[in-house]
Chain A
């Protein structure tokens, strides 16, 4: 195998690229279309953000603040998330486990 002479002609390259692209081209075009839509919208939007990042690094990511938020303002989503976890656990186990009769 190693000794086999490997040679590419330009045609082979084109063919292989073509073969690679052929099933993917529409996906590319559509993904690019989507991307361009999003990017154009982002670019033409004046985001109402602060001019600069906070000086204090802790203000950027503030674990205690997050924790407080989770248990005060966002306690409900957090509780729901617990049910989500439970149900996905159940669902995943149920789907994944083998034939219980065996």
Chain B
């Protein structure tokens, strides 16, 4: 039955509702259970998704497609959601609005999951908006915190703008093809190809997705929002909703608008280079770790975007694989920052910059597990071997060379080298700079979330075969025939 194929989404929705309703009846002190409930729901959904790996189906009047690509990204989103809910247990501790936090997070996840399996532009747009709207409120979750509010405001305004741009683009595509179904758009792309409106809609859609992926120049909100939002939410944004942008772009450009390949390849080539360079260069001088991670996230987005330029099955597989790795690395890094922020705030409630890099001084002594995990994450982001980041770069960059884009690979490699500077700076602060403060106990849920992320970062780096295999399977959805 069709609904069975949507079991993961339904599970998440039901969990979200359950959390919301149960939360209404619980006193503030015992709302911790909601976090466990949410995590449990995500775990079940994850299990359902994994168990259904390999199924292929087009359901609900061909508006939803279950295939390797959507399954893969669903797993990415669910894993990020899992990290989010686990870390959220600690973050919402003592908070009276725990149920909103988890429900919004879970609903955002549903949006992302539907984007991954959308086979119709309407589904895609609505799901996209779901993921956006739910996270606007999450970004401003700390209502008393001017930074959090400002982050939400910027996120919201730029988000609305890009939604409008995207809608405009979709309307033109609809006008030119007479349909919103992704395969049919591809089949009727003649007008788009022959008219200037094709280019305009491509750019408008790039602006829409680029907002989520945080491509320069549509990235402007990202550093501010990642910095201002609660770290756990930043993790969801950077690791989850960014991937949603990528999968949407995969679907729309590579499947629907393959006829306009030349246009968007050029666009992505320009944007990839600008994005990775800008992200890395600006990240060099950041003092706020979260802002630094935000810029690094830009850079990583730039790398993933290379897949659109190269457009070989391996490159796409590499891009998809990179998205998975990046989910773990970035989510882990933000959660580690959340742990540090928590530690700083519990020592000094009025601390203005809890994520300032000075607070990472001597972290190796103060919070050994957090520091070690953070080291793994930043080294993975930098692409040090035996981590997921290295494996991803290996596949993606190597395929770039294969396709003959040597210049692009060189730029990416140089960027990768620059990035080492600011990643190593974090390690330097954590291990080499002295501190007077003492060892503190590390918040357990954060630790669990970080350890899960570390395990996956290392596992993907070390035992990559299954992950690579599934990423390549997913890439075959985009370009049938495969390698």
Contacts and interface: CB of A to CB of B under 8 A. Distances in A.
Chain A directly contacts chain B within the complex, with at least one CB pair under 8 Å: yes
Interface of A: 37-38, 40-42, 44-49, 72-77, 80-81, 83-84, 86-88, 90-92, 94-95, 100
A44 B100 CA distance: 49
A75 B191 contact: no
B61 interface: yes
Interface stretch (B103-111, B232-240, B284-292, B401-409): B103-111
Given A45-B196, A45-B197, A47-B176, A94 B114 contact: no
Interface stretch (B80-88, B136-144, B322-330): B136-144
Q: Which of A48, A49, A87 has the most CB of B within 10 A?
A: A87
A47 B173 CA distance: 11
Contacts of B217: none
Given A90-B137, A95-B137, A72 B61 contact: yes
A84 B482 CA distance: 36
A95 B143 contact: yes
B126 A87 contact: no
A94 B191 contact: no
Contacts of B107: 83, 86-87
A72 B177 CA distance: 21
Given A94-B100, A95-B143, A87 B196 contact: no
B133 A40 contact: no
A84 B197 contact: no
A36 to B, nearest CB: 12
A76 B60 CA distance: 7
A48 B196 contact: no
7 contacts: A45-B197, A46-B195, A77-B127, A84-B129, A90-B20, A90-B100, A94-B100
Contact of B136 (A38, A83, A86, A91): A91
Contact of B199 (A41, A42, A48, A94): A41
A82 B126 CA distance: 10
A87 B99 CA distance: 12
B134 interface: yes
Contacts, number: 104
B265 interface: no
> What DSSP secondary structure best describes chain B's contact surface?
helix
B160 interface: no
A75 B60 CA distance: 8
Contact of B196 (A40, A47, A90, A92): A40
B: contact size bracket: 35 or more
B97 interface: yes
> What DSSP secondary structure best describes chain A's contact surface?
helix
Contacts of A49: 175
B200 interface: yes
A65 to B, nearest CB: 15
Given A48-B176, A87-B104, A87-B134, A74 B122 contact: yes
Contact of A88 (B60, B96, B133, B199): B133
Contacts of A87: 103-104, 107-108, 130, 133-134, 137
Given A48-B178, A73-B61, A92-B137, A81 B126 contact: yes
Contacts of B114: 76, 80
Contacts of B136: 91
A66 to B, nearest CB: 13
B191 A46 contact: yes
Given A40-B196, A44-B196, A91 B104 contact: yes
Given A46-B195, A88-B137, 8 more contacts: A41-B196, A41-B199, A72-B61, A74-B61, A74-B120, A80-B110, A83-B111, A94-B141
B223 to A, nearest CB: 22
Contacts of A92: 137
Contact of A76 (B20, B63, B152): B63
A77 B20 contact: no
Q: Which of A88, A92, A100 has the most CB of B within 10 A?
A: A88
